[in-house]
Amino acid sequence: MKLWRKPLDVEQKKPPRGEVHILIERCKGCGFCIAFCPKQVLEASSDFNRRGYHPPVVKYPERCVNCGLCTIICAEFAIWTTAAGSNTDEQG
């Protein structure tokens, strides 16, 4: 007996893919984006930015599903996601 259900077309649908963009110099290193990412895409960097904080780095870019939770939770507006393949200018 199965204890969970899944949609009938789950094999036909591809999960959405996203790209994470980080403004390294704007980050204050709070770690909220790392802690709340449902797919554990980010990790803390060992490098410092100009403000003296450890900004996040993208560890597993292929896991990003463009949920935007990191964008919502970032108080400094230092991180955002876009759909994979879209063109954006990244600053840092």
Helix/strand/coil for 10: coil
d(CA 74, CA 70): 6
What is the rounded CA–CA span in Å between residue 81 and residue 89?
12
Q: Does 4 score more than 90 pLDDT?
A: no
Listed by start position, the domains of the chain span: 18-83
Per-residue pLDDT of 33-45, as tens digits, reads 999 999 999 999 9
2 pLDDT above the threshold of 70:
no
Architecture of 18-83 per CATH? 2-Layer Sandwich (3.30)
Three-class SS of residue 73? helix
* CB contact at 8 A, 49 and 27: yes
What pLDDT sits at residue 12? 85
For residue 88, pLDDT over 60 is answered with no
Q: Are 33 and 53 in contact (CB under 8 A)?
A: no
Q: What pLDDT is attached to residue 65?
A: 95
At residue 21, the 3 state secondary structure works out as strand
pLDDT band at 89 (very low <50, low <70, confident <90, very high): low
